[in-house]
């Protein structure tokens, strides 16, 4: 099952009308869309062409046969409900015309302060069509001081509210967390993961902070305002986080993923498969697993 990342024309309220003063400090100018949606220097805009490119890439690279539509770029609930339905339905129809019978679900990524009950109920309506629907909420940190530092534009309470209005609707909900935010300690990062799990999330996505070219953080680096998390710390940090999470929470991602040349990499990032293996080895060395924290190890 493979996700086809799409830019369906959404914007971000945090970048609009003076509300966000430029948006989040870590955000990529193109919102981090999948590499296969870039045609050289140009970002493909036509939605049908994006679907075709995604299908071609994933079939050729991975032999993919079944798919999810992944509304990935910007805040993908940032429209009134009636217009949201038109956007989602249009994408489903375009995909159905190109790959009949292969769509199994959809993923919608958004900000927690850009969701209400009506929008959550709209997403839930697609489960009645036989789809698995994931709602991905960007928390990044449960520390309000950290959120202010990165100009996130909301506090942790917005995430609690979004979790509440989306609960009990048959949706699978995932939380995005960034590891290595400016000023954060290991204790802060551990607390953020526990906080997200406590809100009943079915999944978690971890991203190590990368300095994307064009972002505010990348511009601030020469001024010495930020010291990146060294990649060698990731396996141990992730292993310790996993120990504290319920075993049933799906881990959807362990690291950030950007096209080559998009980031200022002060330290070379760990290749994804090498990171996965390193985390597994770290857990084995600690005689532990996800959901098997200190108390459980002592009991064994």
152-197 pLDDT tens trace: 999 999 999 999 999 999 999 999 999 999 999 999 999 999 999 9
Instruction: Please count the residues of the chain.
Output: 300
Query: What pLDDT does residue 251 have?
Result: 96
CA 94 – CA 42 distance, rounded (Å): 22
Fold topology of 2-225+251-258: TIM Barrel (3.20.20)
Average pLDDT on 28-49 reads 71
Give yes or no for a contact between 92 and 118, defined as CB atoms under 8 angstroms apart: no
pLDDT band at 77 (very low <50, low <70, confident <90, very high): very high
CA 210 – CA 3 distance, rounded (Å): 22
Query: What pLDDT does residue 48 have?
Result: 95
For the chain, the 3-state helix, strand and coil shares in percent, each to the nearest 5, are 40, 15, 40
Alpha-carbon dihedral sign for residues 183, 140, 45, 22? negative
For 222-267, the pLDDT digits (tens) are: 677 677 889 999 999 999 999 999 999 999 999 988 877 778 888 8
CA 243 – CA 193 distance, rounded (Å): 11
* Residue 19 predicted with pLDDT over 90: no
pLDDT band at 300 (very low <50, low <70, confident <90, very high): very low
């Amino acid at each position: 099952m493979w996700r086809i990342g799409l830019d369906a024309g959404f914007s971000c309220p945090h970048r609009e009308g003076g509300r966000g003063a430029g948006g989040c400090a870590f955000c990529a100018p193109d919102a981090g869309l999948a590499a296969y949606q870039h045609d050289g220097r140009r970002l493909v805009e036509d939605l049908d062409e994006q679907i075709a490119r995604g299908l071609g890439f994933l079939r050729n690279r991975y032999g993919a046969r079944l798919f999810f539509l992944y509304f990935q770029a910007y805040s993908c609930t940032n429209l009134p409900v009636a217009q949201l339905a038109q956007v989602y339905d249009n994408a489903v129809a375009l995909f159905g015309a190109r790959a009949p019978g292969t769509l199994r679900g959809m993923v919608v990524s958004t900000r927690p302060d850009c969701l209400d009950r009506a929008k959550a109920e709209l997403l839930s309506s697609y489960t009645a069509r036989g789809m698995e629907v994931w709602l991905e909420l960007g928390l990044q940190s449960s520390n309000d001081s950290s959120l202010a530092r990165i100009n996130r534009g909301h506090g942790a309470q917005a995430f609690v509210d979004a979790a509440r209005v989306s609960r009990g609707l048959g949706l699978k909900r995932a939380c995005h967390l960034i590891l290595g935010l400016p000023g954060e300690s290991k204790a802060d990062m551990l607390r953020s993961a526990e906080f997200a799990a406590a809100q009943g999330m079915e999944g978690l996505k971890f991203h190590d902070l990368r300095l994307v070219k064009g972002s505010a953080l990348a511009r601030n680096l020469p001024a010495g305002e930020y010291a990146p998390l060294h990649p060698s710390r990731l396996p141990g940090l992730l292993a310790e986080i996993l120990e504290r999470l319920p075993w049933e929470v799906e881990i959807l991602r362990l690291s950030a993923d950007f096209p080559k040349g998009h980031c200022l990499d002060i330290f070379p990032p760990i290749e994804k498969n090498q990171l996965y293996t390193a985390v597994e080895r770290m857990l084995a060395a600690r005689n532990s697993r996800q959901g098997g924290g200190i108390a459980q190890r002592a009991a064994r």
